[in-house]
């Protein structure tokens, strides 16, 4: 492609002769015509080796990038990432959320069917697999970088390097770090940039930041807007009910009919005198309804292009969508056959990256192009030679790549397994980190010193774990008697056990009372799991092994380097879905009550509890506040209220917490503290510690109504016999 002269260069003035300008332009036009007379475009095929292992460590210079220039030339495809073993790779697509970049690692929010994922890739091409992938909780907020940690709302945080869970504190809503893009509000008005600049901006991008050492800062482009029924100072066009477009003066733009919604974006096209290019640029507006793309100047249509079918879905030009297009000296739009750049002066195709495109996004430096189950990364700061108009990315393995173990291999192999599945010791004597070796024949291992014990492979799913292909095994471990549990084991290409989920030490954390941990569904997202399980004994169920259990659950688990940590649990109860609240949120309520800040505490409690705080507590000469919320009270743990055993002589039953501590409850009765109904299935119990309380029993507790979003609604303290 030929660069068209723009602003005046060194030694030129606005008064230079028109003859000189025309001569310069004619020379440029001759060059351009010569290139266009070529019988076919030169095609560059970039063959990228899919390297199997993680590359060397990279420096974490958060937010550093190079401005991507004018978008006049096609970018170089620098990496192709294989997502075929992550969730349903064919369904994974980009979202409208910003790409967060830390050094050579780009962290993206993706969508896989009905759920969102967070995934990190290496833009330098040092590995052909994602660095890590984790499912996001349904209520996760916007994601932002906080140093080397990415936080999504208040309760979800992973380190950028390995994707391992981090403390959920910190400022999750902090401004996005330099080098990451921030989308404008979906219907934010767009205004043209004040000065002419060849630096492109993303229409889905808000605050672009100039690169260190960059002479020209990237312009601030607040993002595209939808055409409304009336024009405004910000968007000087209106869309009529019949699809007609009018400018701010009411003049109809002739020859243009658009659907709804129609998106609009300010841009700047080269100036010209007839066919002669001139220095400088003029303000234009680009409009798109997903079917038609057009450029407008006043009431004139500069050009229109009919877009291929499916463009609206690929680039987000849909009702409620978040469109993605880039504007510089060209306009870049994604279509089902690839990303296409168009000349803003006449709409002609300037260049393209050929790839069957499902969705795409970008940041300050890279295009991220989703095609089937792979991601192509193209570097806008490394343009291909100007004579090239078409780039095709072709993935090719170099050497023998790593391969995940197959189900058949594992079903007939000697493998390391968690000690509780090793057939040698009873489950009560085994440790979570202990390991044994067993031999599987047709998927089953038996014959150990534990009589009748057996371990059976039930399911094998391939994934990418810690940057390498791996097999995730769901196995049932029967201990030789009436009890059994399902385990998760992860094996690398060398059949080495690299991770395991042993549910036994964590059954209280997994909800209610669980005799046998039975997995009913397994989904794998990189090094993270989504499990469904049942047989949870909830409050109101009978508490013995063979009894009917009414509860079930779904949960996300992320590998932290030692074990799989639950990051989102949803319990299904007779009262509806329940998420456990964050301990910090429950502590906020307790602190407000202790401080007599009842106006604040009221947002987390039922009115009847708030009105009872300064009344005398049962069997006590102190108030409810003094008895149950003394100074120094802290929230120790919250659990889903489990099934309880028969009451003792005092009418009290014991509730067991996951940390080994206990509390007392009077089952079947309504609260004796406030006028509320009885405890019920789906309630949440939070044990409270007093400043000098170091026993194995919570002396007091509070009961919450379970809510699907994990919000806090406290309705009574206890126990009522205090």
Q: What is the pLDDT of residue 420?
A: 97
- Render 78-146 in DSSP notation, one character per residue: EEEEE-TTTTTTTTEEE-SSPPEEETTEEEEEEEETTEEEEEEEETT-S-SS-SEEEEPPTT---EEEE
- How far is CA 234 from each of CA 192, 247, 404, 492, rounded to the nearest angstrom? 9, 12, 55, 56
Q: What is the pLDDT of residue 386?
A: 65
d(C-alpha 109, C-alpha 105), whole Å: 13
Bridge partner residues of 445 (DSSP): 455
CB atoms within 10 A of CB 488: 23
Say if residue 125's pLDDT is above 80.
yes
How many angstroms from the chain centroid is the CA of residue 320? 19
pLDDT digit string, tens, across residues 361-401: 999 899 999 988 899 999 999 988 766 677 766 544 444 56
pLDDT digit string, tens, across residues 461-509: 999 999 899 999 999 999 999 999 999 999 999 999 999 999 999 888 8
Torsion of CA 26, 28, 34, 40, to 10 degrees: -140
Say if residue 183's pLDDT is above 50.
no
277 vs 715 pLDDT, higher one: 715
Lowest mean pLDDT among 213-227, 406-420, 614-628: 213-227
pLDDT digit string, tens, across residues 518-566: 999 999 998 899 999 999 999 999 988 989 999 999 999 999 999 999 9
Q: What is the pLDDT of residue 651?
A: 83
pLDDT digit string, tens, across residues 305-340: 999 999 999 999 998 888 999 998 899 999 999 999
Q: What is the pLDDT of residue 90?
A: 78
Q: What is the pLDDT of residue 199?
A: 40
Q: What is the pLDDT of residue 483?
A: 94
Mean pLDDT of 88-111: 90
684's CB contacts (< 8 A; 6+ apart) are 578, 580, 581, 638, 639, 640, 641, 703, 704, 705, 706
d(C-alpha 223, C-alpha 68), whole Å: 18
Please give the structure tokens belonging to residue 423. Answer: 């057939």
Q: What is the pLDDT of residue 394?
A: 54
Say if residue 633's pLDDT is above 90.
yes
Backbone CA torsion sign across 506, 509, 513, 516: negative
Say if residue 80's pLDDT is above 70.
yes
Bridge partner residues of 270 (DSSP): 281
20 vs 196 pLDDT, higher one: 20
Q: What is the pLDDT of residue 168?
A: 65
Please give the structure tokens belonging to residue 391. Answer: 């780039």
DSSP E strand boundaries for 579-683? 634-640, 653-656, 662-665
651's CB contacts (< 8 A; 6+ apart) are 666
Q: What is the pLDDT of residue 223?
A: 63
Say if residue 120's pLDDT is above 70.
yes
pLDDT digit string, tens, across residues 670-715: 677 777 778 899 999 999 998 666 688 998 999 999 999 999 999 9
User: Across all residues in the chain, what is the average pLDDT?
Assistant: 81
193's CB contacts (< 8 A; 6+ apart) are 201, 219, 220, 221, 266, 268
pLDDT digit string, tens, across residues 218-266: 332 346 889 999 999 899 999 999 999 999 999 999 999 999 999 999 9
């Amino acid at each position: 492609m030929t660069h068209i002269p723009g602003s005046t260069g060194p030694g030129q003035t606005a008064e230079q002769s028109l003859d000189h300008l025309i001569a310069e332009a004619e020379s440029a036009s001759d060059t351009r015509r010569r290139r266009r007379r070529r019988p076919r475009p030169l095609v560059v095929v970039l063959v990228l080796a899919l390297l199997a292992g993680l590359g060397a460590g990279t420096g974490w210079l958060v937010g550093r990038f190079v401005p991507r220039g004018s978008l006049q030339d096609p970018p170089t495809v620098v990496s192709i990432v294989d997502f075929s073993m992550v969730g349903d790779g064919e369904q994974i697509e980009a979202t409208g959320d910003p790409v967060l970049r830390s050094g050579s690692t780009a962290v993206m929010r993706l969508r896989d069917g009905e759920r969102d994922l967070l995934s990190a890739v290496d833009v330098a091409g040092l590995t052909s697999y994602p660095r890590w992938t984790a499912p996001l909780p349904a209520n996760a907020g916007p994601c932002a970088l906080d140093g080397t940690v990415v936080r999504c709302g208040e309760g979800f945080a992973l380190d950028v390097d390995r994707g391992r869970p981090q403390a959920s504190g910190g400022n999750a809503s902090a401004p996005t770090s330099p080098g990451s893009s921030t989308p404008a509000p979906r219907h934010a008005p767009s205004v043209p940039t004040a000065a002419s600049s060849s630096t492109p901006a993303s229409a889905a991008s808000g605050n672009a930041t100039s690169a260190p050492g960059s002479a020209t800062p990237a312009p601030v482009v607040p993002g595209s807007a939808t055409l409304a029924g009336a024009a405004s100072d910000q968007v000087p066009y209106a869309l009529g009910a019949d699809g007609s477009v009018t400018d701010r003066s009411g003049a109809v733009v002739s020859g243009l009919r658009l659907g709804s919604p129609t998106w609009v974006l300010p841009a700047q096209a080269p100036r010209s005198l007839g066919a002669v290019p001139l220095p400088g640029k003029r303000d234009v507006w680009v409009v798109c309804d997903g079917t038609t793309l057009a450029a407008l100047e006043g009431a004139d249509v500069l050009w229109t292009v009919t877009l291929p079918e499916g463009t609206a879905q690929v680039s987000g030009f849909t009702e409620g969508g978040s469109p993605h297009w880039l504007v510089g000296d060209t306009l870049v739009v994604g279509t089902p056959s690839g990303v296409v750049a168009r000349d803003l002066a006449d709409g002609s195709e300037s260049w393209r990256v050929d790839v069957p495109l499902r969705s795409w996004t970008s940041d300050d430096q890279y295009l991220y192009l989703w095609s089937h189950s792979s991601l192509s990364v193209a570097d806008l700061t490394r343009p291909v030679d100007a004579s090239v108009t078409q780039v095709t990315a072709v993935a090719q393995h170099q050497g023998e790549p790593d391969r995940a173990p197959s189900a058949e291999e594992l079903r007939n192999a000697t493998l390391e397994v968690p000690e509780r599945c090793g057939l040698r010791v009873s489950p009560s004597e085994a440790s979570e980190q202990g390991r044994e070796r067993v031999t599987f024949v047709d998927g089953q291992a038996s014959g150990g010193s534990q009589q009748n014990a057996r371990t059976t492979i039930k399911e094998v799913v391939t994934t990418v774990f810690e940057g390498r292909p791996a097999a995730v095994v769901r196995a049932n471990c029967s201990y030789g008697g009436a009890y059994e549990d399902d385990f998760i084991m992860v094996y690398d290409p060398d059949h080495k056990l690299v991770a395991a989920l042993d549910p036994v030490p964590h059954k209280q954390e997994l909800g209610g009372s669980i005799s046998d941990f039975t997995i009913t569904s397994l989904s794998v997202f990189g090094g993270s799991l989504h499990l469904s399980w049942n047989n949870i004994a909830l409050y109101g169920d009978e508490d013995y092994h063979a009894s009917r259990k009414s509860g079930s659950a779904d949960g996300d688990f992320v590998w932290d380097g030692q074990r799989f940590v639950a990051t989102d649990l949803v319990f299904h109860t007779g009262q509806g879905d329940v998420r456990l609240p964050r301990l910090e949120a429950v502590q906020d309520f307790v602190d407000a009550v202790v401080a007599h800040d009842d106006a604040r505490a009221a947002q987390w409690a039922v009115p009847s509890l708030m009105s009872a705080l300064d009344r005398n507590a049962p069997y006590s000469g102190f108030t409810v506040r003094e008895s149950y919320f003394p100074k120094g009270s802290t929230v120790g743990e919250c659990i889903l209220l489990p099934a309880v055993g028969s009451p003792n002589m005092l009418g009290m039953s014991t509730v067991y917490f996951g940390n080994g501590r206990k509390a007392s409850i009077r089952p079947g009765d309504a609260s004796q503290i406030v006028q509320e109904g009885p405890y019920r299935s789906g309630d949440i119990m939070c044990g409270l510690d007093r400043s000098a309380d170091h026993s194995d029993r919570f002396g007091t507790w509070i009961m919450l109504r379970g809510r699907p979003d994990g919000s806090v609604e406290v309705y009574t303290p206890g126990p009522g016999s205090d």
